[in-house]
């Protein structure tokens, strides 16, 4: 009983801070995207493909979440946009971002001057979906190499997201994977979710994702 | 402060139960392997490749951990070995197996009659490594498609494991990935770890893994 109550207190505090974040960013007209998915789904590569085009129209900031290393923030900073790294090592190796980590990172980025902040959450198909971090939109990224059954085995992330990206679609031809099973699995969990099949490595594929994001900025 | 203490209590209870499990299985001469890795690293496919050969020499049981579905236990039961499914949905969607879940599953499998039990942990590169479940050996599975930097970004699992399997190695030729960076990353974290590069889809590749496991059974 005591355990359950303690977990609830932590979640309550997280959710209150998430509401604060939504209020702060609404005031400054900054839209927050929360990108989630397993390690190696290709989240950082998607951002590297997307940002050079997006930054022509928007002031962008990126928050990178990782257990260890600043590898991803370095990759994003190389694109000449504001990037902040959160390492959860100092939060006990936490497997997800929480609002108490995101709020100071937004302040570090001077979010008031930005049109959008994209948060790349910790690589993990489970835990990040349990924690509201004040984002306006959640994006679930999975790689086609992960297998067709992953959405039904890890449903919460797809339930909580407005967009699912099936990445590395160029590898489908080398795999024994039924893409229709994956698509049906996602839609069965969340009939309203948008789905994009793409490869971060293929420049043309980025156009649809760009459009999806721009649509949310109107 | 209270939070920290509560987490410690939960961990203490988990670790005490893990010690119980080690004692139980030592008495019955049952060796416990704990297989961990991201969703889609190919853990179940590895077991499907491995078990038909292993069961010629050993009495085997398998415990499958998933947030939802019994897909994996069904795949293993089709190989005609004892399989138990743990769904963590009823543990609040837990992102890892804990000793309190593994102990009853071992009993369900009549572990006393088995030479080995292979536990396929929840698909997650972070959380399972934080929880001792009484295994004698930990095996970290990652797919080459996940990218060369994953070990240094998620170090704990590689620190806690005796074997790292780099799976789906047949796809390397289609990827722009530096395998040497991945190997160096693993060895920098844990110089004593064994590493196998293989594809679960290639029957010949299974021989080395079979040997590694048989070696631990002596």
Q: What is the DSSP string of B127-175?
A: GGGGS--S-SEEEEEEEGGG-TTHHHHSHHHHHS-SEEEEE-GGGGGGS
Say if the Cβ atoms of A68 and B154 lie within 8 Å: yes
> Residues A60-86: what's their mean pLDDT?
95
The span from the CA of B99 to the CA of B15, in Å, is 7
Average pLDDT over residues A78-86: 95
- Does A56 score more than 80 pLDDT? yes
In 3D space, the residue among A171, A111, A167, A103 whose CA is nearest the CA of residue A139 turns out to be A167
Q: Are B65 and B121 in contact (CB under 8 A)?
A: yes
Q: Choose between B7 and B127: higher pLDDT.
A: B127
Picking from B126, B127, B143, the nearest residue to A145 by CB comes out as B143
Answer left, alpha or beta for residue B162, where phi above 0 means left and psi between -120 and 50 means alpha: alpha
Rounded to whole angstroms, how far apart are CA atoms B215 and B207?
A: 12
Backbone angles phi, psi at A178, to 5 degrees: -95, 100
Mean pLDDT for A35-46 is 96
To the nearest whole angstrom, how far is the Cα of B136 from the nearest Cα of chain A? 24
Percent of chain B exceeding pLDDT 90 equals 89
Q: Do A95 and B127 touch (CB under 8 A)?
A: yes
Identify all chain B residues contacting A176, using CB atoms and an 8 Å cutoff.
Answer: 201
The helix, strand and coil proportions of chain A, stated in percent and rounded to the nearest 5, come to 50, 20, 30
Confidence at A6, pLDDT banded by 50, 70, 90: low
Residue of A nearest to B69 (CA): A153
Contacts of A202 (CB under 8 A, 6+ apart): A170
**Do B194 and B164 meet the contact criterion of CB atoms below 8 Å apart?**
yes
Q: Which two tokens stand for residue A193?
A: 């979710």
What pLDDT, on the 0 to 100 scale, is given for residue A21? Answer: 98
- Distance, in Å, from the CA atom of A215 to the CA atom of B218, rounded to the nearest integer, reads 62
- Look at B69 and A1; give whichever has higher pLDDT: B69
Kindly give the pairing relationship between strand A82-87 and strand B116-123.
unpaired
pLDDT of B56 reads 96
Place of tokens 């001792």: B132
Determine the average pLDDT of the residues in B95-114.
96
Contact by Cβ (8 Å): B165, A165: no
Q: Which residue has the tokens 């853990």?
A: B43
Instruction: Give me the pLDDT at residue A3, please.
Output: 56
CA distance B18 to B27: 14
Is A171 part of the contact surface with chain B (CB cutoff 8 Å)? yes
Model pLDDT, residue B61: 97
Count Cα neighbours of A161 within 13 Å in the Cβ-side half-sphere.
Answer: 29
pLDDT (0 to 100) of residue B40 = 95
Helix B99-108 to helix B2-27 angle (10° resolution) is 20
Chain A contact present for B143, CB below 8 A: yes
Which residues are paired to B117 by β-bridges? B32, B61
- B95: chain A residues, CB-CB within 8 Å: 95, 124, 126-127
- What integer pLDDT is reported at residue B3 of this predicted model? 55
pLDDT band for A61, please (50, 70, 90 cuts). Answer: very high
Residue in B33, B56, B68, B23 with CA at minimum distance from that of residue B141:
B33
For B128, what's the count of Cα atoms within 13 Å in the CB-facing half-sphere? Answer: 32
DSSP code of residue B89: G
Residue pairs between chains A and B whose CB atoms are closer than 8 Å: 123
Cβ within 8 Å of A, B 81-110: 93, 95
Whether chain A has a CB inside 8 Å of the CB on B66: the answer is: yes
pLDDT average, residue stretch B61-66: 96
Q: Any idea of the CA torsion for B194, B199, B202, B205, to the nearest 10 degrees?
A: -10
Q: What is the pLDDT of residue B1?
A: 40
Sign of the C-alpha dihedral computed for residues B39, B44, B49 and B54 taken in this order: positive
Report the alpha-carbon distance of residue B163 to residue B192 in Å, rounded: 9
Q: What is the mean pLDDT of residues A66-71?
A: 94
Residue A7 has what pLDDT?
Answer: 65
Rounded CA-CA distance B207/B216 in Å is 15
Out of B6, B38, B122, the one facing A3 most closely (by C-beta) is B6
**Residue A18 near residue A134, CB atoms below 8 Å:** yes
pLDDT of res. A4: 59
Q: Which two tokens stand for residue B184?
A: 């160096």
The pLDDT, as a whole number, for residue B6 is 62
- Would you say domain A12-217 falls under CATH 3.40.50.11740? no
Q: Which residue from A39, A127, A155 is facing B154, i.e. has the nearest CB? A: A39
pLDDT digits (tens, 9 = 90+) for A87-146: 998 887 889 999 999 999 999 999 999 999 999 999 999 999 999 999 999 999 999 999
Kindly tell me if the per-residue pLDDT of A187 is higher than 90: yes
- CB B188 within 8 Å of CB B152: yes
Q: What is the mean predicted confidence (pLDDT) over B89-114?
A: 93
Q: Does residue B179 belong to the interface with chain A, where contact is any CB pair within 8 Å?
A: no
Cβ of A69 within 8 Å of Cβ of B152? The answer is yes
- Report the pLDDT value the prediction gives residue B7, as an integer from 0 to 100: 64
Q: How far is A205 from chain B (nearest CA, A)?
A: 18
Please answer yes or no on whether A95 and B124 come within 8 Å at the CB atom. Answer: yes
């Amino acid at each position: 009983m005591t355990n359950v109550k303690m977990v609830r207190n932590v979640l309550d505090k997280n959710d209150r801070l998430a509401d604060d974040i939504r209020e702060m960013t609404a005031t400054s007209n900054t839209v927050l995207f929360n990108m989630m998915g397993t390690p190696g789904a290709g989240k950082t590569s998607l951002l590297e493909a997307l940002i050079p085009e997006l930054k022509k129209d928007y002031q962008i900031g990126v928050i990178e979440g990782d257990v260890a290393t600043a590898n991803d923030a370095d990759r994003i900073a190389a694109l000449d946009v504001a990037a902040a790294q959160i390492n959860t090592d100092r939060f006990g190796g936490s497997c997800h971002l929480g609002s108490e980590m995101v709020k100071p990172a937004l302040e570090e980025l001077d979010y008031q001057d930005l049109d959008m902040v994209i948060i790349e959450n910790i690589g993990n198909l489970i835990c990040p979906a349990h924690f509201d971090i004040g984002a306006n939109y959640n994006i679930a990224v999975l790689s086609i190499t992960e297998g067709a059954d992953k959405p039904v085995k890890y449903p919460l992330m797809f339930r909580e997201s407005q967009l699912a990206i099936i990445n590395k679609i160029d590898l489908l031809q080398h795999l024994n994977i039924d893409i229709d099973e994956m698509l049906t699995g996602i839609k069965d969990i969340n009939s309203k979710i948008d789905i994009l099949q793409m490869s971060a490595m293929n420049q043309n594929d980025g156009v649809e994702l760009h459009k999806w994001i721009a649509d949310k900025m109107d």
